């Protein structure tokens, strides 16, 4: 299967600050990709680069095999929903749909009408008076009805209440099931990502810390706890992602292709939350294995 | 048709939860051969989960010989887990209800009842009685 996003050494600098560095990714088609990381990690920058709203400073990025934003053909294949679901406050709901129909060659009017009926939005209402949830749903309708092959969603549910959030994700998953659209969505809400995502990218401090199919990532990471010991003494194939120690005990989250055989460890599986938190906290530990000494 | 639900806090992978619910429904006779399972699209939209998760669960059920996909129509139940024992469910359930009422009268709370049942179930299994 072809990649929806293929990047090589991708980087973006704003004046002196690198928002994204050495980003090399190959995201397969047909996935719902969760993009997670702390604020300022580079999530929005990556999505903007993929949509063609920004041009890279270094490296290359291909989206669906083409250069992002290169001409109407490429634009039609990608749906991009920026943070906070921007709509035109002074335009009515039906004006938005008319705009969508005029601006997008592949506009699916039946799908848009269907969604409007289901959402029960008054077509005459100005978008500026809609609730956050309704605005997000209107923006999603525009993005979905252009029938893109890839949907890029920047924190689409961040400002929504739990019910609106669930409804948004239900509609998104319905679109994924019906139209086989690939999705990349950034979010802080790991419980949501656990339900909808089957591919994960963790971005911290402008770098990709880990990326891969969720199932593979969960299977290759383990939580080890046992008597206190120096993580440097672990077998070569076991990469320590995060470590914490008390005076008698050591708890590690390790990545390894093989099983953990050392009987000194109590081994348990990890959840997506464990995984994300471990990679996020890893940034603070530095890259060395000296933190055991540092904690004494 | 059955309706799926998900326990986000159970730590059990969502596709396994779906498989478990189908097996459970088959055991209890809620699903029988020829019944249609909910459409992938409807499950994905209803639970807000990835359609691939539903597909994976259905593929696993196909592999176990419990379901089969008819392209363009849906996935249908082809096997059964209850079998001839289903007829015995009614009386057994009745006995169990009587036993539960007795346990409550003796002052056992839900947790104690569950603990007693599980430990007895295990012990019986070990003795080869069950």
The residue segments making up the domain with residue B29 are: 14-81
- Residue B124 confidence (pLDDT): 85
- Residue B51 confidence (pLDDT): 94
Distance from CA of A220 to the nearest CA of B (A): 15
Q: What's the DSSP call for residue B76? A: E
What are A246-286's pLDDT values in tens digits?
Answer: 999 999 999 998 888 888 899 999 999 999 999 998 755 44
What are A52-76's pLDDT values in tens digits?
Answer: 999 999 999 999 999 998 988 899 9
Evaluate whether residue B6 is within a structural domain.
no
Rg (CA), chain A: 22
Evaluate whether residue B1 is within a structural domain.
no
B11, B38, B51, B55: which to substitute to probe chain A, counting the most A Cβ within 10 Å?
B51
The phi and psi torsions of B74 (rounded to 5 degrees) equal 155, -170
Closest residue in A to B7 (Cα) is: A195
Question: CB B50 to CB A191 under 8 A?
Answer: no
> Does one domain contain both B77 and B19?
yes
> Does one domain contain both B76 and B20?
yes
Question: CB B8 to CB A196 under 8 A?
Answer: no
What are A142-195's pLDDT values in tens digits?
Answer: 999 999 999 999 999 888 888 889 989 999 999 999 888 999 999 989 989 999
> Does one domain contain both B28 and B77?
yes
Residues of A in contact with B52 (CB under 8 A): 30-32, 198
Residues of B in contact with A30 (CB under 8 A): 52
| Residue A175, token pair as written in the block | 């679109």
Evaluate whether residue B63 is within a structural domain.
yes
| Residue A274, token pair as written in the block | 């464990």
Say if CB A54 and CB A238 are below 8 A apart: no
> Does one domain contain both B95 and B120?
yes
Residues of B in contact with A32 (CB under 8 A): 50, 52
Higher pLDDT, B90 or B100: B100
What are A90-109's pLDDT values in tens digits?
Answer: 999 999 999 999 999 889 99
**Strand arrangement, sheet containing A3-14:** A17-28, A3-14, A58-63
> Does one domain contain both B26 and B75?
yes
Between helices A132-145 and A109-119, what is the axis angle to 10°?
Answer: 160
Say if CB A89 and CB A130 are below 8 A apart: no
- Number of structural domains (chain B) is 2
Q: Which is nearest to B38 in space by CA: A32, A194, B27, B49?
A: B49
Query: Is residue B5 within 8 angstroms of chain A, CB to CB?
Result: no
> Does one domain contain both B59 and B112?
no
> Does one domain contain both B75 and B93?
no
What CATH number should be reported for the domain holding residue B59? 1.10.10.10
| Residue B77, token pair as written in the block | 């139940």
* Domains parsed from chain A with CATH numbers: 3-205 (3.40.50.300), 216-294 (no CATH)
Query: Is residue B8 within 8 angstroms of chain A, CB to CB?
Result: yes
Residues of B in contact with A171 (CB under 8 A): 45
- Residue B57 confidence (pLDDT): 95
A162, A194, A195: which to substitute to probe chain B, counting the most B Cβ within 10 Å?
A195
Closest residue in B to A174 (Cα) is: B45
> Does one domain contain both B98 and B67?
no
> Does one domain contain both B18 and B75?
yes
């Amino acid at each position: 299967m072809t990649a929806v996003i293929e990047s090589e050494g991708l980087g973006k600098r704003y004046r002196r600050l690198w928002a994204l560095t050495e980003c090399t990714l190959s995201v397969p088609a047909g996935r719902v990709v969760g993009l997670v990381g702390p604020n300022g990690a580079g999530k929005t920058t990556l999505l903007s680069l993929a949509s063609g709203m920004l041009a890279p400073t270094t490296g290359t990025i291909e989206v669906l095999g083409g250069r992002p934003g290169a001409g109407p053909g490429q634009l039609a294949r990608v749906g991009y929903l920026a943070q906070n679901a921007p709509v035109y406050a002074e335009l009515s709901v039906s004006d938005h749909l008319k705009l969508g129909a005029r601006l997008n060659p592949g506009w699916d009017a039946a799908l848009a009408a269907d969604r409007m009926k289901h959402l029960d939005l008054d077509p005459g209402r100005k978008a500026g008076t809609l609730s956050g949830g309704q605005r997000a749903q209107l923006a999603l309708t525009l993005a979905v009805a252009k029938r893109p092959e890839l949907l890029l969603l920047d924190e689409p549910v961040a400002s929504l209440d739990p019910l609106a959030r669930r409804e948004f994700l239900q509609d998104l998953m319905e679109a994924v099931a019906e139209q086989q659209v690939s999705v990349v969505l950034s979010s802080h809400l790991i419980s949501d990502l656990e339900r909808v995502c089957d591919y994960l990218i963790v971005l911290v401090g402008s770098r990709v810390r880990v990326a891969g199919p969720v199932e593979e990532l969960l299977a290759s990471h383990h939580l080890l706890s046992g008597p206190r010991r120096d993580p440097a003494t672990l077998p070569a194939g076991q990469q320590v992602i995060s470590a914490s120690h008390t005076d008698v005990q050591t708890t590690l989250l390790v990545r390894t292709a093989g099983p953990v055989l050392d009987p000194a460890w109590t081994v348990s599986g990890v959840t997506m939350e464990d995984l994300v938190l471990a990679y996020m906290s890893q940034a603070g530990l530095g890259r060395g294995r000296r933190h055991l000494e540092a904690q004494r | 048709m059955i309706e799926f639900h998900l326990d986000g806090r159970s730590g059990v992978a969502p596709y396994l939860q779906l498989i478990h619910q189908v097996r459970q429904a088959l055991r209890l006779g809620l699903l029988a051969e020829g019944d249609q399972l909910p459409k992938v699209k409807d499950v994905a939209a209803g639970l807000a989960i990835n359609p691939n998760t539903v597909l994976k669960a259905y593929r696993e059920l196909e592999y176990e010989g419990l379901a089969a996909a008819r392209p363009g129509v849906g996935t249908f139940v082809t096997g059964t887990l209850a079998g001839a024992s289903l007829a015995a469910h009614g009386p057994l359930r009745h006995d169990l209800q009587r036993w539960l009422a007795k346990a409550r009268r003796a002052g056992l709370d839900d947790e104690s009842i569950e603990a007693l049942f599980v430990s007895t179930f295990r012990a019986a299994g070990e003795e080869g009685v069950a």
